[in-house]
Amino acid sequence: MGKFGFAISKGRQIDYEANDRRIAEYILEHEPSFRLCIECGGCSATCTTGNFTRFSLRELHILIKRGENDEVRKNIGKCMLCGKCILVCPRGVNTRNVVVLARQAFQKYDEYAI
Amino acid sequence: MNWDVVVVGGGTAGMEASGQLAKAGYNVTLFEKEEEAGGHLKNWYHLFPDRRDGEEVITYLNDQINNDNITFYKGSRIDHLEKNEKKFIIKTNEGKEMTADAIIIATGFDLFRSERKEEYGYGIYDNVITSADLEKRFRTGDMKMNNGEIPRRIGIVHCVGSRDEKVGNLYCSKLCCVTAVKQAIEISEWLPESKVFCFYMDIRMGGALYEELYMESQEKYGVNYIRGKVSEVGESFTNSLIVKVEDTLAGRPLKMELDMLVLMAGMEISEGSKKIGKALGLKTGENRFFQSRDNHFGSNLSNIDGLFYAGTCTAPMNITETISHARAAVLDVMDYLKDGRR
Amino acid sequence: MTNMQFDPFVIPFNIGLYFILFYVVIRSVIWFRGLSRPDKLRLQRGFFGITFIKSLKDIFLESLIHRKILKTNLRLGYMHMSLAFGWFLLILFGTIEADIFGAKHLNAPYKAIFFRFFNPEHGRMGFEAVYGFLMDLILAFILSGLLLAILKRFYSKVVGVRKTTRLKTLDRIALTSLWLIFPSRLLAESFTSGAFGNGSFMTGTLGHWLASFLPAQELAYPFWWLYSLSLGTFFVLLPITRYMHIPTELFLIFMRNSGIKTDDKAGSYSEVETYSCSSCGICIDACQLNFSAGITNIQSAYLMKAIRNNEETSDIAHNCLMCGRCDQKCPVGIELSPIRMIQRRAGEAEYDFRNIYRGYFRSRQSVAAVNLNGSEVYSFLPETNPEKADVLYFAGCMTHLTPTIKKSMVKILDASGVNYNFIDEQGGVCCGRPLMLAGQDKEARELINYNSQIIWKSGAHTLVTSCPICYKVFKESYYLDVEVLHHTQFIRNLIADNSFKMRFLRKKVVYHTPCDLGRGSGVYDEPKEVLRHVARLEKSKFEDENSLCCGGSLANMKISSQKRSKIARDAATELTKSNPDILATSCPLCKKTFSKATETRVADISEIVAEAIIEPTGNNITRKQNSLSHELTP
């Protein structure tokens, strides 16, 4: 296929096999409460940054879990670490630490550090 | 065989248990702290899943306790309760003293006080009410807002005081989802021009005919369901309510103004139960409800012989389950007394 | 026995002593040279005049008497004092002893330390006996403290601390040699006294008893060797164990009194501070993570140790509520929280302070103060054009989750009649302090600049905020020229101006001072003043500088929610011991944390005041009217 100049398009699927799940594993190891997230969206609803730009912590959580790291890497720096999300989360997930750990994980594993 | 059984709590469970015990020939004394029996059921309008009138169930229960074998004391609080060898000693606030061979605790639940969830604005903003408040309004027919106008858009918030680590209640109160669906339908019937929006984390329709009710609410009444936990409620300049919520299924934050907000308050173990539990050393679970001796075949048994549980003091349950649970408690009592209180 | 002038056994002592003196001098020079130029000048001036006298006084009161530890914990203080002050007296009077009674004046140090060995016949009567009594008394004083120290190692409740600091191997060896010094001196002097039939109340009595069944003369010599060896070992090990704090604390006192403060990055002063930690354990005792949550490996003493040993500090540094209780109780006066902040900043990749030599040489990297040439992280924030106003009200992120505070403040502001603008009513930008607490100063600076623009553009002269976290950062890091007030201070001013009338609520109130407002910013009295105008304020055991932390702090990234709840519940139980009607606080985060932890009503001061305001009849000023009149005025 490559000889003809075609490349197989990536498609819209979440390729669970191919995705790099080390970021998720790093976070899960250091913040076990992350497992409890049910993506209810309370965190995104109250988010300070979410008021100003397209930033959904809930979305980033689920992308991390599935290993879709590109989107996360681009956006994770926008968090102001204000902590309102922790005050809202009904499951007691330490969402703020998830953001900080994600940044650390990117530093550690990614060639393209933030 | 003139066994004396005391039933504490004159709600659904207490009344049903008393009735069944009396029919079986036991001497029953029923204590109820309010001036009328019926518990929370008195405050409800129509019951799910078939939306029948709650009054009918109350009539049935009142018939149950209309029995010569039952002595009913209303306005009576238990001040002192202890077990002495094989007998229970009960003293009330009016000074009545008696003993019993077996006792059924049917002290029920309290609704979560929504003021504790400050960010939802109950008691702070106008037009924020709870599900209990709404049931009362159905009875009186007063569906207007504080300023006398008809609410055009009504929001319902699920899981207030349940499934929430922030208020210390991790458990699910089970009934609020189907109550929300029922109330959404009822609001739509009272106010056909208005729209109802339910904000949920999950829609839990775990009972017979519940899912069908949910589908009916969507199909016939056009109730809207938005998956997203409401983080906080605010007020706009025009005094309408603004909910901060993310429409998680669309993946974007939602901007919506509402005229009225209904909070689905969860269930907690009642204050009366807590007092009795402390006095007798009754075991409670992590959810603070009474803990049954066995989850499958001992749900009416407590950690004290001769003391049995009936109803929502053990866990959130609906009317059907409560009545069944009360009947099961009666069977356990009969078993216990038949064996000579072993 | 002839008067010898020298014996081989003194060699270990000499080696140790000269080594440590040499080391301390070199180290001090290195530290001095590591200071910035202004700090060097400060320190030089600190060696003259009043400052010098004060430093000497501090050294006497703190390094020797350990007055601060005595005040906090009598037994622990006595233990430290007896060893430090006792040893000092021993050296001082021993030197005088050698001077007066010795062969000549100005002897080598070993002559004073081993005086009895070289003057075995001394001390039988007269002034010599009196002096001997004094020396024995001092030795007994030291030994009493030593007994406490040994017991503390095994059973810390003896000195009233809950937990004692853990030690590494070298520390243990140094500790053992330290513990051997005075008992071996006691035995050496006693045996010598026993052999010669002299000695005072302790050494004489003991020596006499020992000589009755042991060959005192022969046994004395090994114990003199032991005495010298233990001294020598201790001195040689001192620089690489925690006992380095003994000389370092002296240097710290001079530096501190000269006006030097901990910087934002590691430097000579922060290094001197970390070495001054005596591991007394008072910070561990004060820490709520310890006594409420059972977390015992992250307190300041352990952080200091980790820094000294060049260990990975990130987990320790971030697992802290930054409540300031340890800072406030540290008897050495180390700025514990600023040092922890240095470690938090050091965790960020760009600020690398590790280096090859263990703390001896530090390569300093300057922090880019405002580097906005790189990509701005928060460039998505929009341009703003705020309305002009005299007073700005900034509720803060957390306050949006406690709407009663917002509503109460709006009512109070309306009742006061000031021309104000509620700038973050629809949600604002975070003040930046949470980022700083996570060590991300660069990103915080962006938010600070953004908010500063809004404040400046509005032309306001006063900024009122409801959140102590925001208050602290506005005051310390924003460089604004507006007056920054916490809402309790603002309300206090309004009351003083008679801006509105209030009823007196007949309620018992206990006030909880938020960490960032109290210890963090020094605002203790205004909130209490306001409360006294409205309700019956009760005293509590944990007041002002001694107040507890609610546990909700944003500064701690690592703690689990269950442990946080435990801290909150314990603190709430303590505060509501007297069964007050209201637990008052002045921080939305404290309010949220305590509401979950207690049945007692938790209310912010603004709520209580708003409840108490008597509305003037027919004069209900609403917000809409205010902004309307604003548009009408040119």
What does the pLDDT look like over B151-189, one tens digit per residue? 999 999 999 999 999 999 999 999 999 999 999 999 999
Q: Which two tokens stand for residue C39?
A: 């700090």
Number of Cβ pairs < 8 A linking chain A and chain C: 64
Report the gap between the CA of C424 and the closest CA in chain B (Å): 13
Amino acid letter at C242? Answer: R
Which residues from B are below 8 Å from C565, CB to CB? 168
Check CB contact under 8 Å for A78 and C377.
yes
Contacts of C560 in chain A (CB under 8 A): 33, 94
d(CA C35, CA C40): 6
Average of per-residue pLDDT across B56-64: 96
**Prior bond of C215 cis (ω within 30°):** no
Residue C391: what are its φ and ψ, rounded to 5°? -120, 135
Asked if residues C44 and C254 have their Cβ atoms less than 8 Å apart, the reply is no
* Domain positions in chain C: 10-246, 261-346, 391-423+462-469+487-634
Listed as ranges, residues in chain C with pLDDT below 70 are: 1-4, 103, 156-167, 347-375, 617-634
| pTM metric for this prediction | 0.85
Q: Give the list of residues 6+ apart from residue C102 with CB closer than 8 angstroms, or none.
A: C111, C112, C115, C118, C119
How far A91 CA lies from chain B's nearest CA (Å)?
Answer: 6
What is the fold, at CATH topology level, of the domain defined by B114-265?
FAD/NAD(P)-binding domain (3.50.50)
What's phi and psi for B247, nearest 5 deg?
A: -80, 90
Assess if residue A11 is contained within a domain: no
Quote the tokens at residue C426: 């629809």
Residue A1 lies in a domain: no
DSSP for A15-76, please give it.
Answer: -TTTS--HHHHHHHHH-GGGGG----SHHHHH-TGGGTSS--HHHHHHHHHHT-HHHHHHHG
Residues B302-337 have pLDDT tens digits of 999 999 999 999 999 999 999 999 999 999 999 999
Assess contact for C266 and C342: CB atoms under 8 A: yes
| CB pair distance less than 8 Å for B229 and A90 | yes
Q: How far C403 CA sits from the closest chain B CA (Å)?
A: 6
Of the residues A75, A81, A110, the best mutation for testing chain C's interface (the one with the most C CB atoms within 10 Å of its CB) is A81
Contact with chain C for residue A84, Cβ under 8 A: yes
Chain C residue with CA closest to B239: the answer is: C624
Residue A10, domain member (yes or no): no
- Contact between chains at B253 and A50 (C-beta distance less than 8 A): yes
Q: What is the CATH number of domain C261-346?
A: 1.10.1060.10
Helices and strands counted in chain B (H then E): 7, 20
B71 against C209, higher pLDDT: B71
Start and end residues for every CATH 3.50.50.60 domain found in chain B: 4-108+270-338, 114-265
pLDDT recorded at residue C625: 37
- Tell whether the model's pLDDT for residue A6 goes beyond 70: no
Residue A57 lies in a domain: yes
- Determine how many CB atoms are found less than 10 A away from the CB of residue B68: 7
Q: Hey, are the CB atoms on C596 and B167 less than 8 Å from each other? A: yes
The CATH number that applies at residue A92 is 1.10.1060.10
| Structural domain boundaries, residue A96 | 19-109
What per-residue confidence (pLDDT) applies to C370?
36
A4 in any annotated domain? no
Q: Give the model's pLDDT for residue C366.
A: 28
Q: Is C14 exposed, middle or buried (0-12, 13-18, 19+ CB in 10 A)?
A: middle
Paired sense of beta strands B232-235 and B241-247, if any: antiparallel
Q: What is the dihedral of CA C26, C29, C34, C40, to 10 degrees?
A: 170
Kindly state whether A58 is in contact with chain B, defined as any CB-CB distance less than 8 angstroms: yes
Predicted pLDDT at C4: 62
Task: Decide if C561 and A92 are in contact by the 8 Å CB cutoff.
Answer: yes
Number of Cβ within 10 Å of residue C232's Cβ equals 21
Using CA atoms, how far apart are residues C634 and C631, in angstroms rounded to an integer?
Answer: 7
| Tens digit of each residue's pLDDT (9 = 90 or more) over C126-156 | 888 888 888 889 999 999 999 988 888 777 6
pLDDT at C361: 30
Cα-only R_g, chain B: 22
Label the pairing between strands C508-512 and C536-538: parallel
Stretch A98-102: mean pLDDT: 91
Residues B132, B81: contact at Cβ < 8 Å? no
Q: Taking CB atoms and an 8 Å limit, are A90 and B252 in contact across chains?
A: no
Residue B236 to residue C387: CA distance in whole angstroms: 19
For chain A, the domain total comes to 1
Q: Is A89 an interface residue toward B (CB < 8 Å)?
A: yes
| DSSP label of B169 | B
Sorting pLDDT into bands at 50, 70 and 90, what band is A5? low
Buried b (16+ CB within 10 A) or exposed e, B240-258: bbbbbbbbbeeeebbebeb
Q: Among A33, A51, A84, whose Cβ lies nearest the Cβ of C561?
A: A33
Q: What is the mean pLDDT of residues B268-292?
A: 94
* Nearest-by-Cβ selection for A87 from C349, C401, C434: C401
CB within 8 Å: A40 and B201: yes
Three state DSSP letters for C412-444: HHHHHCCCEEECCCCCCCCCCHHHHHCCCHHHH
Task: Please state the three-class secondary structure of C369-423 as a single string.
Answer: CCCCCCCCCCCCCCCCCCCCCCEEEECCCHHHHCHHHHHHHHHHHHHHCCCEEEC
Phi/psi for B258 (5° steps) reads -125, 150
> Are the CB atoms for B310 and B325 separated by under 8 Å?
yes
Q: What is the pLDDT of residue B194?
A: 95
User: Class for domain B4-108+270-338, per CATH?
Assistant: alpha beta
Helix (H) or strand (E) holding B111: strand B109-111
